[in-house]
Amino acid sequence: MKGVLLAGGTGSRLYPLTRITNKHLLPINDRPMISYGIEALVKAGISEIMVVTGGTHAGEFLRLLSNGDDHDVDLLCYAYQDRPGGIAEALGLTERFVGDDRVLVMLADNIFGKTIKPTVEAFMEQPKGARIVLSHVEEPSHLRHLGVPELRDGKVVGIVEKPENPPSSYCVTGAYCYDPTVYSVISNLVPSGRGELEITDVNNYYVEAEMMEYDVLGGFWGDAGESIDAYYEVNDHVRHHGANLS
């Protein structure tokens, strides 16, 4: 199984912190944000990773991570997204790297308190399709800014992006597992109103095909790129409690 870490985007929600660097290079506690994503993949048993980035600071990832030896990565590759075309488009750039393997895709600004290894293990036992990680969110006002699944009889029956009336109290986090068919799904996507290929459309394809499974991850989850307040909330949690714990 291959790992893909998405570290592109302009980081506009973290201005002015990101005026001079990529948001995934900002510090979380005592190290750069992206190192937690790499650690999450490695602790889940994935040692072949591709980092997808873009913008004017892409070279800084190579300077920071080099060939991955310091992070226990066996193979570390890079891809460049030359325009903000969405998460699904960024994933599409990794097709040759992933090949016929399965893939775990993770947004590099998502920080998990606990390891995602159980999700990887469950997905490897899954015959085909996709698997997502959900997190419980208490505040409906927060859910209105996230992707929210509708759940029925232990199944995901739909995912709504930024719903006015959230259909559940869970959000879809930025960790997704797919079999190799994901690349043919991406190639048939139509750009959304904002001109991007949306990962929610990818996930809903697997939902409609009845090939979507999910796990609810207990403990902390935070999107450090969501806002300045969220960034500092993630920092505080990691400083006091750590991340990617077994």
* Tens digit of pLDDT at every position of the chain (246 positions): 999 999 998 788 999 999 999 999 999 999 999 999 999 999 999 999 999 999 888 999 999 999 999 999 999 999 999 887 899 999 999 999 999 999 999 999 999 999 999 999 999 999 999 999 999 998 999 999 999 999 999 999 999 999 999 999 999 999 999 999 999 999 999 999 888 999 999 999 999 999 999 999 989 999 999 999 999 999 999 999 999 999
Task: Give the per-residue pLDDT at 9.
Answer: 82
Structure token digits, residue 103: 């893939």
> DSSP string of 61-94?
HHHHHTTSGGGT-SEEEEEEE-S---HHHHHHTT
Q: Check residue 102 and report its DSSP letter.
A: -
- CB neighbour list of residue 13: distance below 8 Å, 6 or more residues apart: 225, 226, 227, 228
Q: How far apart are CA 23 and CA 39, in angstroms?
A: 17
The domain ranges of the chain are 2-241
The two structure tokens encoding residue 25? 């290079």
pLDDT at 14: 94
Q: What is the pLDDT of residue 80?
A: 96
Q: Which CATH number fits domain 2-241: 3.90.550.10, 3.40.50.1370, 1.20.1050.10, 3.40.50.970?
A: 3.90.550.10
What pLDDT does residue 230 have?
96
